[in-house]
């Protein structure tokens, strides 16, 4: 009864968007295929990285009689159902440790099983404060019009640009029905200790579904599995087939808003009848995201600033058309009475040719390369610097308006599919290296044995030769000695 107003619950929940208690909202869903088997006892096998999985107590049943591939086997790199169940149990235990709440489906014989995730308010507020997510505050900013010459100029520019503006409402600007004063909603990074400063009516409506899903995505992307496999994040598990899919939910109200936004984009953007209007970049960002919104904003600025050089290029081209008849080189080239004969273009085969045969080429080249082209080149050099500075200002404005000032450019993450293929390749190379090492050992042993045998034979041959020569020397000495005695 003494709860503050921002602690009150939101409106009645919709079907399928909440837990079974009807209070906790489903922020994320994990899905995997499940087939119940009658197993007598658990069977542990080696994981793909060579580590023995440690069983975690849970509600799953293991599949018996199905042996998995040994570590480093490149022929069967896929995980068994038992290993997937072990990895799911460890991953879900990590989610519980991170503060998320889990609700599983009831037991079924087979088919798809869904795991619903909910992020409670303490974890949601902590992550929002760490990520510096901006929340509307109670104080509004009054938008006042400038007076004097500046106000007259603003009114003139607004009147001129009115036909080119898309018919899209501005959700951040509100108009007071009594005073007709325009008020702009101010936002500030969320701080848990200063909730009284924010325009909070309920804990479940402080952050929209997209923000809640983004926070949950951040949590499940950094949850690790170290006992069953050395991997991090839900994307790696999806690549390995542990889970079939992971996705957030959207309620009917958000879906209706998306349909309304899509219809507005179709009428005010993706339509040839509104080619002359500016792009509704705020609506594009709301539907497609900040990255796609920035791309189309850059494309709009680039197309808009290409209008001056295109107009100047047409003027230069028209100048060439009107002055081509007064161009002396073109006149001399096209005059047949001068009878200019040119040397052959090649030796042996080519013949002499007349200069008047390239008259059309000379006149066409003058249309694009005349005296006004120098001025066009100077203008384009200045236009390039103007375009860069203009886009920098436009980009900083969009970053501030879209709350992107605190974000930094991050390197592209390694794709889980490539990571899985890389691990399989490493395992295959490890197996091949072990096989090569065993072959090299056998080769060195055989070579050593042959080397020893060869050395033994050589030693024996040497000893035999020495013994033979010594015997021959003794016989020769005996013969000489007998002859000496006879003499």
Closest to 404 (Cα-Cα) out of 135, 207, 128, 132? 132
Q: How confident is residue 363, by pLDDT bands cut at 50, 70 and 90? A: confident
**CA 139/CA 196 separation, integer angstroms:** 11
Report the first-to-last Cα separation within the chain, whole angstroms. Answer: 147
Between the alpha carbon of residue 380 and those of residues 317, 373, 385, the distances in Å are 15, 10, 9
Average pLDDT of the residues in 269-290: 87
Higher pLDDT, 69 or 384: 384
**386 in Cβ contact with 301 (< 8 Å):** no
Helix and strand element counts for the chain (H, E): 13, 11
**269 in Cβ contact with 166 (< 8 Å):** yes
CA atoms within 13 A on the CB side of 477: 6
Higher pLDDT, 467 or 94: 94
Task: Identify the top-confidence range among 4-13, 119-128, 466-475.
Answer: 119-128
The tokens for 424 are 């399989």
Q: For all residues of the chain together, what is the average pLDDT?
A: 76
Q: Is the pLDDT of residue 379 over 80?
A: yes
Least confident of 169-183, 193-207, 328-342, 465-479: 465-479
pLDDT value of residue 56 = 43
Q: How confident is residue 177, by pLDDT bands cut at 50, 70 and 90? A: low
**73 in Cβ contact with 427 (< 8 Å):** yes
**CA 470/CA 465 separation, integer angstroms:** 8
Q: Is the pLDDT of residue 70 over 60?
A: no
In a domain? residue 292: no
For tokens 């005010």, name the residue: 268
Contact residues for 262 (Cβ-Cβ < 8 A; gap 6+): 287
Q: Is 88 found in the same domain as 18?
A: yes
- The fraction of the chain above a pLDDT of 70, given in percent, is 68
φ, ψ (nearest 5 deg) of residue 351? -115, 175
**CA 102/CA 244 separation, integer angstroms:** 17
**60 in Cβ contact with 89 (< 8 Å):** yes
Helix, strand, coil share (%) of the chain residues, nearest 5: 55, 10, 35
H helix or E strand, kind and range, residue 34: strand 28-35
pLDDT value of residue 59 = 40
Q: Is the pLDDT of residue 316 over 70?
A: yes
Closest to 221 (Cα-Cα) out of 245, 243, 244, 237? 237
Give the model confidence (pLDDT) of 227-243 as tens digits.
Answer: 877 778 888 888 888 88
In a domain? residue 147: no
pLDDT value of residue 193 = 87
**237 in Cβ contact with 89 (< 8 Å):** no
Q: Is 422 found in the same domain as 381?
A: no
Q: Is the pLDDT of residue 140 over 50?
A: yes
Q: Is 119 found in the same domain as 43?
A: yes
Q: Is 234 found in the same domain as 94?
A: yes
Q: Is 386 found in the same domain as 455?
A: no
**CA 71/CA 48 separation, integer angstroms:** 5
pLDDT value of residue 461 = 66
Residue 2 DSSP class: -
Read off the pTM. Answer: 0.60
Q: Is 233 found in the same domain as 119?
A: yes
Q: Is the pLDDT of residue 370 over 80?
A: yes
Q: Is 89 found in the same domain as 236?
A: yes
- Of the candidates 199, 232, 247, which is a domain's last residue? 247
Q: Is 424 found in the same domain as 378?
A: no
Q: Is the pLDDT of residue 310 over 90?
A: yes
- Of the candidates 341, 376, 401, which is a domain's last residue? 401
Task: Identify the top-confidence range among 71-75, 101-105, 196-200, 303-307.
Answer: 303-307
Q: Is the pLDDT of residue 206 over 90?
A: no
Closest to 123 (Cα-Cα) out of 7, 188, 8, 212? 212
**32 in Cβ contact with 113 (< 8 Å):** yes
Q: Is 222 found in the same domain as 93?
A: yes
Give the model confidence (pLDDT) of 380-420 as tens digits.
Answer: 999 999 999 999 999 998 988 887 776 555 555 566 666 66
Higher pLDDT, 459 or 155: 155
- The fraction of the chain above a pLDDT of 90, given in percent, is 17
In a domain? residue 261: no
Higher pLDDT, 222 or 445: 222
Residues in a beta bridge with 245: 31
Q: Is 486 found in the same domain as 373?
A: no
For tokens 């640009």, name the residue: 161
For tokens 């968007």, name the residue: 17
The tokens for 73 are 């086997």
pLDDT value of residue 259 = 67
Task: Write the burial class of residue 232 (CB in 10 Å: 0-12 exposed, 13-18 middle, 19+ buried).
Answer: middle
Residue 103 DSSP class: E
**CA 173/CA 185 separation, integer angstroms:** 6
**How many Å separate Cα 98 from the centre of its chain?**
25
For tokens 């070579």, name the residue: 447
Higher pLDDT, 400 or 435: 400
Q: How confident is residue 225, by pLDDT bands cut at 50, 70 and 90? A: confident
pLDDT value of residue 80 = 81
The tokens for 371 are 């005296």
In a domain? residue 408: no
φ, ψ (nearest 5 deg) of residue 10? -80, -165
For tokens 């889990």, name the residue: 102
In a domain? residue 117: yes
pLDDT value of residue 251 = 58
pLDDT value of residue 380 = 95
For tokens 């949950």, name the residue: 216
Average pLDDT of the residues in 184-188: 80
Instruction: Tally Cβ neighbours within 10 Å of residue 99.
Output: 14
Average pLDDT of the residues in 108-122: 84
**Which range of residues forms the domain containing residue 463?**
415-487
Total domain count, the chain: 3
Q: Is 419 found in the same domain as 322?
A: no
Q: Is 104 found in the same domain as 15?
A: yes
- Of the candidates 375, 401, 427, which is a domain's last residue? 401
In a domain? residue 168: no
For tokens 């992550």, name the residue: 127
């Amino acid at each position: 009864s003494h709860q503050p107003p921002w602690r009150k619950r939101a409106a009645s929940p919709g079907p399928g968007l909440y837990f079974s208690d009807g209070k906790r909202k489903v922020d994320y869903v994990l899905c995997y295929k499940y087939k119940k088997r009658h197993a007598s006892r658990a069977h542990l096998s080696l994981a793909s990285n060579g580590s023995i999985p440690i069983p975690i107590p849970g509600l799953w049943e293991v599949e018996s009689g199905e042996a998995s591939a040994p570590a480093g086997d490149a022929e069967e790199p896929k995980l068994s159902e038992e290993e997937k169940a072990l990895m799911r149990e460890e991953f879900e235990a990590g989610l519980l440790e991170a503060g998320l709440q889990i609700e599983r489906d009831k037991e079924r014989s087979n088919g798809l099983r869904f795991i619903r995730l909910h992020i409670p308010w303490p974890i949601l507020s902590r992550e929002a404060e760490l990520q510096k997510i901006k929340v509307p505050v109670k104080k509004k900013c009054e938008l006042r019009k400038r007076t004097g010459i500046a106000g007259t100029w603003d009114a003139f520019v607004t009147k001129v640009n009115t036909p080119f503006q898309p018919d899209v409402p501005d959700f951040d600007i509100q108009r007071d029905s009594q005073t007709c004063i325009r008020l702009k909603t101010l936002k500030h990074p969320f701080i848990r200790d200063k909730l009284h400063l924010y325009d909070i009516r309920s804990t479940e409506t402080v952050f929209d579904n997209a923000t809640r899903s983004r926070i949950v995505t951040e949590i499940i992307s950094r949850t690790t599995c170290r006992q069953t496999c050395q991997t991090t994040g839900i994307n790696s598990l999806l690549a390995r087939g542990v889970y079939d899919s992971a996705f957030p939910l959207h309620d009917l109200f958000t879906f209706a808003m998306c349909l309304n936004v899509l219809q507005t984009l179709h009428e005010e953007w993706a339509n040839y009848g509104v080619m002359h209007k500016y792009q509704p970049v705020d609506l594009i960002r709301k539907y497609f995201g900040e990255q796609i919104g920035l791309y189309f904003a850059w494309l709009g600025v680039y197309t808009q600033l290409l209008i001056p050089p295109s107009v100047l290029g047409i003027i230069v081209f028209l100048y060439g058309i009107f002055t081509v008849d007064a161009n002396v080189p073109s006149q001399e080239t096209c005059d047949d009475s001068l009878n200019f004969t040119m040397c052959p273009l090649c030796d042996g085969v080519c013949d002499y040719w007349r200069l008047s045969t390239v008259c059309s080429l000379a006149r066409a080249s003058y249309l694009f390369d005349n005296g006004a082209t120098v001025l066009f080149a100077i203008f384009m050099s200045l236009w390039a610097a103007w375009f860069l500075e203009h886009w920098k200002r436009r980009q900083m404005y969009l970053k501030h308006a879209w709350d992107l000032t605190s974000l930094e450019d991050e390197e592209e993450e390694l794709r889980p599919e490539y990571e899985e293929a890389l691990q399989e390749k490493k395992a295959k190379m490890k197996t091949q290296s072990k096989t090569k090492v065993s072959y090299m050992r056998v080769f060195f042993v055989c070579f050593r044995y042959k080397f020893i045998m060869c050395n033994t034979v050589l030693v024996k041959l040497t000893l035999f030769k020495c013994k033979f020569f010594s015997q021959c020397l003794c016989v020769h000495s005996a013969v000489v000695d007998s002859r000496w005695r006879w003499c």
